[in-house]
Structure 1
């Protein structure tokens, strides 16, 4: 006897099959995968084995395929920002003709341009986003312009590094 598992619109077949059952399953799987008559050519969603996923074909990505994903969109970050204003402009206006960082996720998708959460692009983005979100919250909370909030942050920072601020050391009123 065979068992089937419908997983993300793909059929995974386990156990032994005789020739007649295999033809019936192929017919059924092509119909389920493509919503078309099996006499037509299967769509690209079908697996190489004619719509039936074998044990070697998996509907879920393996650890190696997840690790192998690298950002496909090349983004240039401001190499050595010195002020909060430079970070804010890079995030909201863009850098060297690029679209603003805040729009990158919407346009390309998180994984397409910055990879997973461990990539350096993702970490840079998250630090910049945290700072810029605090500036935007301050604008709303105090009804002030971004320049005034940036000035507050710069005064709070004093002689500390920009990295210190970007690592979450913000004034309490902007948290």
Structure 2
């Protein structure tokens, strides 16, 4: 059996389902996301979590603070492989509308996890600093002057938009075929 939990619930889930002894958890990076796994051979319970927006060092530190031994590696099952593939395909697209001296602007980025508004704004700010548009100490000024508005497009949102577009195109094609059928000359009877 495989259980997927939020990282904040991982430690409790391991304690609840561990058969005894000192639980060892395994940590490995998957792209930009730390993946944490636990397996209890006695019960067959496999627990998986992704620790988005955390560094490997932070994840290791948090797990050690919970009393776990942390090893490098990954427990793998069919379910975890499917989950990893799903996580790898998940792309969150962000758009930030903002005000600039030359008029309104839009800044875009993509993440392999659902970013927080703070993560997005910090990334945007750092890019502007790297490009020489802002100074390193101008974050508060940036927020005040740019008046940024963050929107995150989740994979589910994207899928829903695509499904709606496909349905609308099919309906339009059907409507055009019906109109064309009404306009075609009818055979005359003599």
TM-score w.r.t. the length of structure 1 is 0.25
TM-score w.r.t. the length of structure 2 is 0.24
Larger RCO: 1 or 2 (CA < 8 Å, sep 6+): 2
Name the one with the larger strand percent. 2
